[in-house]
């Protein structure tokens, strides 16, 4: 197999990997094995071909600038290609799992570089290798354009390895020191069965160790989405509906289109709750605060960006229920909630 053929295959595999990683739907709600397995398979092909091309370029003398001593050169090349491939693999996984990093922001230059690394890190090897393959007759293997990206790629690999291992040790020490305080919550998450009994542990006010345990519990159920749908339609369980609304106001759901009819049903439940509260002489208008309509509005905006109007009919049902309340002690609260809903709708009209 010629150098050019190998290089072309590397480029094709890299493009496929970038496309798959870019198009894959990533969310905190679940992970799918297929995209990860395909990415891993593509990386293995990429690694084998990269090692093969490196070997061919070595035999062609493209790396003589590293050292005149052949033994030293071989050691440096082995170490270098390991660092480069480690960097490529890490950058692919960072992008594939980006949405699980709760405290990262693309507005931060460091986070932006990490997020886009799956695109630019492989290029730092592909470009100089392409120059060495197609321009060998021009002694491009001695050029700074070949040396600099490869050296930088190796350095990045070393830094990433040191950074991740340092943080892993720190995380291990932190977990050990706090294990006693986390243990009761983690044990409860592992033992409870009902969705509403552990989903609140995914909320950001808990430590990441706790939220991660809750997400693992959620993802371990292959029918997790069906649980959401079922709970949202259970008007007899206003607690679970409220918890799911809170969850949806924070995290992107994997299947927003499938979620919509069930979400609307839960909003019909809220309209029913309004009527039930008003019919109970022992309640007051402030009890309507427990419906957490703000969470409903935030969830709509989170799950349906650009298509919020599709949920307006369900919102109108809640508004109608609020308007139908005739009790004077409810008036100020119903007016407040109606105003909140109408202002929300105006943002998207």
Contacts made by residues 123-127, CB under 8 angstroms, sequence distance 24+: 124/149, 124/150, 124/152, 124/153, 125/50, 125/84, 125/88, 125/149, 125/150, 125/153, 126/7, 126/10, 126/11, 126/14
Residue 72 inside a domain? The answer is yes
Residues of the chain with pLDDT under 70: 25-34, 99-106, 135-146, 149-150, 153, 157, 160-180
Residues 308 and 161 grouped into a single domain: no
Residue 294 inside a domain? The answer is yes
Residues 245 and 121 grouped into a single domain: no
Task: Give the CA count within 13 Å in the CB-facing half-sphere of 127.
Answer: 15
Q: Given this model, what pLDDT does residue 32 score? A: 47
Task: Give backbone dihedrals phi and psi of 249, rounded to 5 degrees, phi first.
Answer: -75, -10
Residues 131 and 228 grouped into a single domain: no
pLDDT in tens, 209-243: 888 888 888 887 778 889 999 999 999 999 999 99
Residue 190 inside a domain? The answer is no
Residue 214 inside a domain? The answer is no
Q: What is the DSSP string of 36-48?
A: HHHHHHHHHHHHH
pLDDT in tens, 121-173: 888 888 888 888 876 544 444 566 567 766 776 777 677 666 655 554 554 55
User: How is residue 85 written in tokens?
Assistant: 């491939």
User: How is residue 344 written in tokens?
Assistant: 């929300």
Cα–Cα distance for residue pair 324/271, rounded to 1 Å: 10
Residue 247 inside a domain? The answer is yes
Q: Given this model, what pLDDT does residue 182 score? A: 75
User: Whose CA is closest to 92, among 47, 56, 138, 145?
Assistant: 47
Residues 114 and 245 grouped into a single domain: no
Residues 115 and 26 grouped into a single domain: yes
Give residue for tokens 């932006």: 112
Task: Give the CA count within 13 Å in the CB-facing half-sphere of 224.
Answer: 21
Residues 10 and 118 grouped into a single domain: yes
Cα–Cα distance for residue pair 42/13, rounded to 1 Å: 6
Residues 120 and 236 grouped into a single domain: no
Residues 150 and 12 grouped into a single domain: yes
* pTM beyond 0.85: no
Give residue for tokens 């706090």: 178
Range of the domain at 160: 3-174
For the beta carbon of residue 118, count every other beta carbon within 10 angstroms.
24
Residue 13 inside a domain? The answer is yes
Residues 69 and 165 grouped into a single domain: yes
Residue 230 inside a domain? The answer is yes
Domain boundary among 174, 206, 239: 174
User: How is residue 149 written in tokens?
Assistant: 């990206």
Give residue for tokens 């291992």: 165
What are the distances in angstroms from CA 10 to CA 5, 13, 39, 156? 9, 5, 14, 20
Residues 126 and 245 grouped into a single domain: no
User: How is residue 184 written in tokens?
Assistant: 């009761």
Residues 153 and 230 grouped into a single domain: no
Q: Given this model, what pLDDT does residue 33 score? A: 56
pLDDT in tens, 48-60: 999 999 999 888 8
Residues 272 and 139 grouped into a single domain: no
Total structural domains within the chain: 2
Residue 200 inside a domain? The answer is no
């Amino acid at each position: 197999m010629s150098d050019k053929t190998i290089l072309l295959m590397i480029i094709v595999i890299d493009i496929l990997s970038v496309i798959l990683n870019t198009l894959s739907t990533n969310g905190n709600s679940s992970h799918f094995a297929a995209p990860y397995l395909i990415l891993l398979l593509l990386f293995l092909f990429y690694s084998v071909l990269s090692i093969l091309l490196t070997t061919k370029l070595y035999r062609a003398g493209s790396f003589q600038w590293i050292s005149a001593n052949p033994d030293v050169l071989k050691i440096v090349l082995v170490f270098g290609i390991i660092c480069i491939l480690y960097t490529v693999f890490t950058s692919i996984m960072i992008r594939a799992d980006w949405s699980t990093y709760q405290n990262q922001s693309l507005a931060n230059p460091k986070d932006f570089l990490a997020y886009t690394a799956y695109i630019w890190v492989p290029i730092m090897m592909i470009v100089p290798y392409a120059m060495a393959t197609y321009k060998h007759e021009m002694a491009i293997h001695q050029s700074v354009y070949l040396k600099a990206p490869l050296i930088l790629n190796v350095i990045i690999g070393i830094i990433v390895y040191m950074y991740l291992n340092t943080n892993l040790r720190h995380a291990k020490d932190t977990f050990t020191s706090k294990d006693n305080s986390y243990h009761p919550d983690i044990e409860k998450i592992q033992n409870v069965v009902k969705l509403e009994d552990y989903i609140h542990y995914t909320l950001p006010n808990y430590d990441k160790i706790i939220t991660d345990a809750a997400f693992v519990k959620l993802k371990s159920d292959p029918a997790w989405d069906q649980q959401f749908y079922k709970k949202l339609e259970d008007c007899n369980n206003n607690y679970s509906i409220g918890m799911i609304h809170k969850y949806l106001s924070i995290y992107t759901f994997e299947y927003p289109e499938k979620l919509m009819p069930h979400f609307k049903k839960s909003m019909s439940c809220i309209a029913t709750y309004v009527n039930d509260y008003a019919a109970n002489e022992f309640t007051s208008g402030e009890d309507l605060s427990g419906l957490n309509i703000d969470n409903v509005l935030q969830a709509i905006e989170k799950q349906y960006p650009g298509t919020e109007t599709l949920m307006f009919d369900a919102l109108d049902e809640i508004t109608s229920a609020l308007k139908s309340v005739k009790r004077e002690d409810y008036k100020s609260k119903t007016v407040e909630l109606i105003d909140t809903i109408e202002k929300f709708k105006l943002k998207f009209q």
